[in-house]
Copies of this chain bind each other. A is one copy, B any other.
Amino acid sequence: MAPRRARVLGEQPDHAEALRRHLISVTQRLLSAHGLSGLTTRSIAREAQVADGVLYNHFADKDDLVVSALSERLGDLGERFAQECPRPGAQDLRAGLTALVVQCRRFGAEAFPLVAGLLGRPDLVHELFARLHATDDAAAPIIWRDVLGFLDAEQRLGALSDEVQVEAVAALIVGATQLGALRDPAAAAAASSDRDEDPGTADLVTVLVRACHP
C-alpha cells in the first residue's frame, strides 16, 4: 500500500519532494506578504491546502521551514544576481557601476521584506547564515562575492584605480543600496524595475565613478 498523498499535489513522482517545495513556496509567499510575525503554521497549512500536521513530516519545526524557505529564496536571488551582474570589461566604468547599483537595489527590494522580520530573532539569523554558507562554500555572503569579483576584475583591467580598496567600494555600494531598500522598499523596487535610470542611482554612480577612476 502506497503512502498517503496530499490532495493538492496530484500523483507525481517524488511526491515527498514536491510537497516540501510546495510548503516552502507557500511560506515564501506569506513571508513576503505579511512578515514573520503574521506567519503561523495554520496559515501556512491553510494556504497550502494541506493538513496542519504535514509540516512536521518534512521539516523539524516551524523555524526549520522558515529558514529553509528563506535560504532557498535568497539563494535563488543571489544566483540571479550573479547572472545579471555586469561582466568586467564589457562596458565602461560608469555603465558597469550603474548596472551593479541597479542589480543591488533590485536584490534589496526583494530580499529585505523577507528578512526584515527575522532580525528580531538572532538565532534564526545565525541559522540562516549558516545554511547559506553551507550550500555555498564561499565565506562571503551572497552578492558581496559577486560585487567584489566585479570590482576586482575591473581593477586588474585598469578601469579602477589601484589606490582604492575594492572592499571599501563594495561596502559603499552594498550599504547604500541595501539601506535604501530598508528605508523605502517601494522606492527601491521602482528604481530597480524601471529601465530608465532614476536620478538617485545616477547621482550615486557619479560619486562612485569619481572615487574609482584611475
Contact = CB atoms under 8 A, between A and B. Distances in A.
Given A210-B164, A210-B211, A171 B204 contact: yes
A172 interface: yes
State the main secondary structure of chain A at its contact with B: helix
Nearest to A168: B203
Interface in A179-209: 179-180, 182-183, 200, 203-204, 206-208
A165 to B, nearest CB: 4
A117 B36 CA distance: 10
Interface stretch (A15-23, A78-86, A118-126): A118-126
Contact of A168 (B36, B118, B163, B200): B200
Contact of A167 (B121, B169, B203): B203
12 contacts: A34-B122, A116-B119, A117-B119, A141-B183, A164-B203, A165-B207, A168-B204, A168-B206, A171-B176, A172-B176, A175-B176, A175-B180
Would you list the 10 A-B pairs with minimal beta carbon distance, nearest first?
A117-B120, A175-B175, A175-B176, A211-B211, A116-B119, A168-B203, A36-B120, A165-B203, A175-B179, A35-B120
